Amino acid sequence: MKKVVAEGGNSILAYAAAFFVVAIWGTTFVQTKVLINAGLLPEEIFLYRFVLAYLLILPFAGKRLFLDNWRDEAVALLLGVTGGSLYFVTENTALIHGYCSNVSLLVCTTPLITAFVMGALFPKEKMKKSALTGSFVAFAGMALVIFNGNFILKLSPMADALAFAACLCWTAYSVLMKYIQPRYGTMLIMRKVFGYGVITIVPFFVSTPPNIELVMEGGAVVWANILTLGCVASMLCYTLWNLVLARLGTVRATNFIYLNPVITIIASWLVLDEKITWMAILGAILVLAGMHRMEQKR
């Protein structure tokens, strides 16, 4: 009986942590937009946030330099690429060259694609048909939130391909994390993710080095957003997400990404004074209804 109660309490904490992480990540689009408006490039923003996250996690990650073997070290490198440098570069480049609605819609197909991939690779993670129906309902609601009354869906082959690549990156990150997670501590894994993320973003600065002066002279707004992205959205949230994946399972945890656009549009309304339409409200209701069905029918 005590074990059941303890597991229930742990599950509640895992759900709370998942919601917290997605709520924070939902605001990062707004924070990134503020920093871009201040003159920073997307690659620079990623570099600063991951360097800061790496420095913060060092005291908690131990002194161990390498993992047990070259294969695990290669997986750690891939985690830094798929969950870090390549993911952010593909997503942000897509936003620059394409329509925001297209990019958001493609990136947020991650839960569906992850569910299919995980179901094929790990039978225990396979969703039931009824739960899959809930996932499609949540996806439809998420689409309504993204469009928010402005239905613009035009083809932009390069941008759409990059957005879909970002989606595949996060799916790969989730699968790779499931592979390596049982054998190493969370802090060590995350130190590797942040470290390899920083290393693999460096080539993007070969022709144009990061403009440090812009940050130094950016004032309180720039510093506050960089610190929040590095300390909270990266170091804290990535670490919590790793624990959520272990507790809830990859598919169930990834479904929380459907909430991301809902949080983003609320943050945009509060910070950027963007409007929220009836379509977005209906979409938010569908997202919650779909997620509820997924949890009831697993």
pLDDT in tens, 142-152: 667 666 555 55
* Structure confidence by residue, pLDDT tens digits, 213-224: 888 887 888 999
Identify which has the larger pLDDT, 137 or 232: 232
Cα–Cα distance, 86 to 232 (Å, whole number)? 21
- For 51-65, 194-208, 277-291, which range has the lowest pLDDT when averaged over its residues? 277-291
The pLDDT value given to residue 5? 32
Higher pLDDT residue, 214 or 84? 84
Q: Which residue has the higher pLDDT, 257 or 55?
A: 55
Amino acid 1: pLDDT: 36
pLDDT for res 113: 79
CB neighbour class for 100 (10 Å; exposed up to 12, middle 13-18, buried from 19): middle
pLDDT recorded at residue 117: 82
Nearest to 113 by CA among 161, 172, 178, 157: 172
> Is there a contact between 267 and 26 (Cβ–Cβ < 8 Å)?
yes
Burial of 103 (0-12, 13-18, 19+ CB in 10 A): buried
- Domain around 218: 2-296
Average pLDDT of the chain is 80
**What pLDDT is attached to residue 99?**
59
Helix axes 129-147, 278-296, angle to 10 degrees: 160
C-alpha distances out from residue 189 to 33, 75, 82, 180, 235, Å: 29, 10, 14, 8, 12
User: Above 50 in pLDDT, residue 6?
Assistant: no
Question: What pLDDT sits at residue 79?
Answer: 97
Phi, then psi, of 153 in degrees rounded to 5: -135, 90
Asked whether the predicted pLDDT for residue 82 surpasses 50, the reply is yes
Phi, psi of 67 (to 5 degrees): -80, -175
Q: Is pLDDT at 101 greater than 60 in this prediction?
A: no
As for how many domains the chain has, the answer is 1
pTM of the model: 0.82
Dihedral through CA 48, CA 51, CA 53, CA 59, nearest 10?
Answer: -150
**Percent of the chain beyond pLDDT 90?**
31
pLDDT digits 0-9 by tens, 228-246:
999 999 999 999 999 998 8
d(CA 27, CA 266) in angstroms, rounded, equals 9
Which pLDDT score is estimated for 21?
Answer: 92
Model pLDDT, residue 135 = 67
**Whether the predicted pLDDT of 155 surpasses 60:** no
pLDDT at residue 3, rounded to an integer:
38
CB 64 within 8 A of CB 184: no
